[in-house]
């Protein structure tokens, strides 16, 4: 990670965001279907791990394509990160289990600098581009399902680890 910070920060001013994209390979039916499509001889009884381990090159290609879609979104006119993206710098790394993930530095136009502007102005900027609200089930069913699977499952695991029987969501 040191290389990503020094290599890009020497050319540009302070970066606005440090983002990590780590795909949830078990929760991505499109990835599984893609691997099945490029490998029609896959047996239907194989586990998700077996399917993905069968063709790591296609998995990496799929994830690179998905990352390109994320970049197009970041540079779109909607300004999903709270402002116009001026520049980005990224690296991909592989976890011990072989799954690729991406680290990225992002420079946002007119982003407030902590220590120069007030904490309130910085907080307002952050709130423009981030949210903890569960997506609407009717307008974004796929995003809603993914959010519920990711957060609720994790919350159950946390409750189980803590030995709590409470049903409240963490």
Q: For residue range 30-84, what is the model confidence (pLDDT) as tens digits?
A: 888 899 899 988 877 888 888 888 888 898 899 899 899 999 999 999 888 888 9
Calculate mean pLDDT across residues 93-112.
Answer: 84
Residue 81 near residue 105 (C-beta atoms within 8 A): no
Residue 1: pLDDT over 70: no
Q: Which residue has the tokens 């069913």?
A: 141
Q: How would DSSP label each residue in 45-100?
A: T--HHHHHHH-HHHHHHHHHHHHHHHHHHHTSTT-TTSS-EEEEEEEEEE-TTS-E
> CB neighbours of 65 closer than 8 A, spacing ≥ 6?
none
Give the residue among 56, 67, 59, 54 at the shortest CA–CA distance from 30. Answer: 59
Quote the pLDDT of residue 9.
Answer: 54
Residue % of the chain over a pLDDT of 90 = 19
* Dihedral Cα 144, 78, 83, 10, nearest 10 deg: 90
């Amino acid at each position: 990670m040191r290389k990503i910070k020094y290599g890009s920060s020497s050319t540009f001013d302070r970066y606005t965001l440090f983002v990590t994209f780590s795909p949830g390979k078990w929760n991505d039916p499109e990835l599984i279907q893609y691997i099945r499509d490029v490998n029609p001889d896959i047996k239907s009884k194989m586990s998700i791990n077996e399917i993905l381990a069968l063709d790591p090159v296609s998995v990496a290609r799929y994830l690179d394509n998905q990352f390109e879609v994320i970049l197009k979104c970041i540079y779109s006119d909607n300004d999903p990160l709270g402002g116009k993206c001026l520049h980005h710098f990224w690296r991909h790394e592989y976890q011990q289990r072989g799954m690729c993930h991406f680290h990225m530095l992002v420079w946002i136009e007119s982003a407030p600098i902590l220590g120069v502007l007030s904490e309130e102005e910085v907080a307002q900027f952050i709130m423009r581009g981030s949210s903890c609200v569960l997506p609407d089930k009717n307008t974004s069913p796929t995003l809603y399902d993914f959010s519920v699977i990711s957060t609720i499952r994790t919350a159950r695991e946390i409750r189980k680890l803590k030995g709590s029987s409470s049903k409240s969501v963490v």
